[in-house]
């Protein structure tokens, strides 16, 4: 069963957006970023796309 996030449909704060940008620049994969930010992978992916960020893929 998928992990349950208490932050369902909460708006992104400026601090969270800055943290997202930092983690993406470090090259962290989507799953790790989502877990670090306690948000769903889908939410993180959508926000990154809206900000024009490319999240690295695991190889």
- Two tokens at 23? 């983690």
pLDDT tens digit sequence for 2-50: 566 566 778 999 999 999 999 999 999 999 999 999 999 999 999 999 9
Within a 13 Å sphere around the CA of 59, how many CA atoms are in the beta-carbon half?
3
Q: What is the pTM of this model?
A: 0.81
Show me where the domains of the chain are located: 14-50
Give the pLDDT score at 7.
Answer: 67
Give the pLDDT score at 32.
Answer: 93
* CATH number of the domain located at residue range(s) 14-50 in this protein: 1.10.10
Which has more pLDDT, 55 or 58?
A: 55
Give the pLDDT score at 16.
Answer: 94
Ramachandran class of 16: left when φ > 0, alpha when ψ lies in -120 to 50, beta otherwise: alpha
């Amino acid at each position: 069963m998928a992990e349950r996030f208490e932050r369902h449909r909460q708006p992104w704060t400026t601090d969270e957006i800055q943290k997202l940008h930092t983690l993406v620049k470090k090259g962290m994969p989507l799953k790790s970023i989502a877990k670090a930010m306690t948000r769903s992978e889908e939410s993180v992916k959508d926000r990154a796309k809206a900000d024009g960020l490319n999240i690295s893929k695991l190889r």
